[in-house]
Structure 1
């Protein structure tokens, strides 16, 4: 498969390349010694892009750039520590749902001078707090529907443009083939969140100086009802999520699945697993349909931002590196290096995915990307046991939705308002 998300980039090759530009450890290299320390997450950037970018920056500014590769596991603690120290890190990559939390602690520098750049609107909210820019968008990615072309052809099912047509297609597959029409775990809560956004709802809403859960609402119930319609076509248990078992490598390659909802790296992983087992993957892709033909369904727009530490060794120089990395020129090179496997961070960057590719379906949904509540306490809500996931399982098992949602809202409200 030509197109894949940056998360699928080989970590070994990336680390080897970046070590040539600087360090590959976890310590700082800036501290006013005429160099910059940049933290990037494992798998986030094509090696050739980083190498070329740093060479250009070093030539222009006469400053060595030390790139240090970080693992996602435990990153919040490491970033929190680094932002409390002088010169440990100058520029850093931060998950888009985490940015507001770090900005709220005072650890990120004000990047207001970059506010007028043509950032992709759906990605910009995660980089701001109270109208101030504390990071800039770097890349995004979202889920699409991945389907087995041969199974759909055998069933006489057509690619849908609305929710109603989607259900009709799954019914045809159910009636005319032995395949599982759709694999949908009971607790794929970001998928449900997209349906919630379609209805005009949210997991939580602002309430005075705090937040409160917002699932015990007509919008929440409507979203869960549609999720249940889809999940009824799946053999998945109601109490598992998309990661356990891993749908791309443990489920799809081992049984006849007509369709599933996943990310680009998952599509690539499923293709590799099927081919390794001697099979042939023939996937097609389409955006999550909306209630009507007028708009696509909302999808969680994950991704990363780039920020400058408030305690950077040289904030001005760090900002210049960030400015170059996210400029039109280098953002275009970033998209090109990824085979169009990311959502561009700027509106003046062109993504021209190959027809029929995952990327083509993905970029169609960029204008309907949604994010969970952008507040420090959201990480507490996602901690297991996740109350949204528990609500979904209860509802799919036949429990009264309103009662279960009120219980979930109470837990969300308690957690989201903790620092």
Structure 2
């Protein structure tokens, strides 16, 4: 159920296609109703039904949940936020929130600022220390590995980068499997390696932003990416979606490991079973430089916000407060079958031992986000200069000159509204 949502996580390049609004009436709340926009595959239906029944009983209003598709959501949200009473509460991708808040479309939620929000997620909901949304949940990538191949190679689950490389070397030496499938342009994975070194894609420079790839930290992150990618047969100019690693790669060739999201792991299992096979996957956090802390991972996810032009901002805030309360967050986490990182620090996810979710939650504390600025969407729009740099570096081009060229493009794009 979560596939469409998790696939869209991290898509800060906001879609330009105009599409019709989601299900339900187009009119907003006010008076005896409340309009809530949630994304397709986001909230477990049982949780949502129970929450709304409780809210309706307490407040005597009807909650109209309208399910939206990620494709074309940018235009629909911009339109809704510019109109009175179209939507009261809405779900927003965490990399998109700053843009909507800066444009004046989101209500100030300062009354919720003292709640124990997950610190790694909170930055995406704030602008100049003002809270314009609240963290709802997050998800991140982990390493998915074929347990039987690793056992045949005598490889152990690693806790450091060094152990990771040693395991891949054993697999390469003792099996016919591709040790790791790593596309040339999986740039959020690269972002984690750069963050491990203390670097970032871009940094603030006074009132503007500047690309930060021509730095020792970014180069060290790319060096480790190159070391890993040398174990892969993937071309250097493709990303994790082309071909789709979960349904087109992992089920159709002998791959010992790959880096992916929860929905991808589930899709790979289903595809293998459809072919009459049996998946035997294990999961571990992307290793860090030392065993003390896992590697950094992009912590994508969703926030909940209230429209500045909601029909009833007070009622909308009450629904949002209830949905993200400790009680209902606990129920949400329990109902979310793919695993989720809760938006509240006082709710702990307790996934099953050995599951994808367990590995994901263990690494979430080392989560990172891309630059939280409206112009970041311009950077991620094709052709993405970070992806282009990765291919050049993997193909043997001089890193520093290629990175300086990418930085110039990033700087020009990120400072353009």
Q: TM-score, normalised by structure 1?
A: 0.94
Which secondary structure does the structure 2 equivalent of 1:311 belong to? Answer: coil
Q: Distance in 1 between matches of 2:183 and 2:57?
A: 50
Residue 107 of structure 1 is matched in structure 2 by: 105
Residue 39 of structure 1 is matched in structure 2 by: 37
Q: State whether residues 22 and 69 of structure 2, in contact with CA within 8 Å, keep that contact through their aligned partners in structure 1.
A: no
Residue 16 of structure 1 is matched in structure 2 by: none
Residue 365 of structure 1 is matched in structure 2 by: 363
Q: State whether residues 247 and 271 of structure 2, in contact with CA within 8 Å, keep that contact through their aligned partners in structure 1.
A: yes
For the structure 1 residues 5 and 70, does the alpha-carbon distance in structure 2 shift closer, same or farther, using more than 3 Å as the test? closer
Equivalent in 351, 354, 363 of residue 353 of structure 1: 351
Equivalent in 250, 268, 271 of residue 270 of structure 1: 268
Q: State whether residues 108 and 310 of structure 1, in contact with CA within 8 Å, keep that contact through their aligned partners in structure 2.
A: yes
Which secondary structure does the structure 1 equivalent of 2:90 belong to? Answer: strand
For the structure 1 residues 30 and 4, does the alpha-carbon distance in structure 2 shift closer, same or farther, using more than 3 Å as the test? closer
For the structure 1 residues 6 and 77, does the alpha-carbon distance in structure 2 shift closer, same or farther, using more than 3 Å as the test? closer
Per the TM alignment, residue 366 of structure 1 is displaced from its structure 2 partner at its CA by 1.6
Per the TM alignment, residue 4 of structure 1 is displaced from its structure 2 partner at its CA by 7.3
Residue 337 of structure 1 is matched in structure 2 by: 335
- Unpaired runs of 5+ residues, structure 2, are 8-20
Alpha-carbon RMSD across the aligned residues, in angstroms, is 1.5
Query: How many residues end up aligned between the 2 structures?
Result: 404
1:242 pairs with 2:276: no
Aligned pairs (5 A) from 1:276-315: 276-315=274-313
1:123 pairs with 2:121: yes
Which secondary structure does the structure 2 equivalent of 1:37 belong to? Answer: strand
Q: State whether residues 375 and 413 of structure 2, in contact with CA within 8 Å, keep that contact through their aligned partners in structure 1.
A: yes
For the structure 1 residues 412 and 303, does the alpha-carbon distance in structure 2 shift closer, same or farther, using more than 3 Å as the test? same
Deviation per CA, 1:36-80, whole angstroms, max 9, x where unpaired? 110000000111011111100000000101100100001111111
Residue 323 of structure 2 is matched in structure 1 by: 325
Q: State whether residues 172 and 179 of structure 2, in contact with CA within 8 Å, keep that contact through their aligned partners in structure 1.
A: yes
Q: Distance in 1 between matches of 2:190 and 2:128?
A: 28
Q: Distance in 2 between matches of 1:307 and 1:289?
A: 34
Equivalent in 205, 221, 224 of residue 223 of structure 1: 221
Q: Distance in 2 between matches of 1:323 and 1:140?
A: 18
Per the TM alignment, residue 294 of structure 1 is displaced from its structure 2 partner at its CA by 1.6
Residue 12 of structure 2 is matched in structure 1 by: none
Which secondary structure does the structure 1 equivalent of 2:259 belong to? Answer: strand
Q: Distance in 2 between matches of 1:220 and 1:340?
A: 32
Residue 13 of structure 1 is matched in structure 2 by: none
Structure 1 stretch 179-188 or stretch 28-37: which is displaced more?
A: 28-37
Residue 148 of structure 1 is matched in structure 2 by: 146
Q: Distance in 1 between matches of 2:6 and 2:50?
A: 20
Q: State whether residues 3 and 41 of structure 2, in contact with CA within 8 Å, keep that contact through their aligned partners in structure 1.
A: no
Which secondary structure does the structure 2 equivalent of 1:365 belong to? Answer: helix
Residue 233 of structure 1 is matched in structure 2 by: 231
- Unpaired runs of 5+ residues, structure 1, are 10-22
Q: Distance in 2 between matches of 1:354 and 1:4?
A: 18
Deviation per CA, 1:116-166, whole angstroms, max 9, x where unpaired? 111111111101110000000011000000000000000000000100000
Q: State whether residues 31 and 312 of structure 2, in contact with CA within 8 Å, keep that contact through their aligned partners in structure 1.
A: no
Aligned pairs (5 A) from 1:165-244: 165-244=163-242
Residue 15 of structure 1 is matched in structure 2 by: none
Deviation per CA, 1:194-241, whole angstroms, max 9, x where unpaired? 000000000000011110000000001000000000000000000000
Per the TM alignment, residue 367 of structure 1 is displaced from its structure 2 partner at its CA by 1.2
For the structure 1 residues 353 and 372, does the alpha-carbon distance in structure 2 shift closer, same or farther, using more than 3 Å as the test? same
Q: Distance in 1 between matches of 2:145 and 2:30?
A: 53
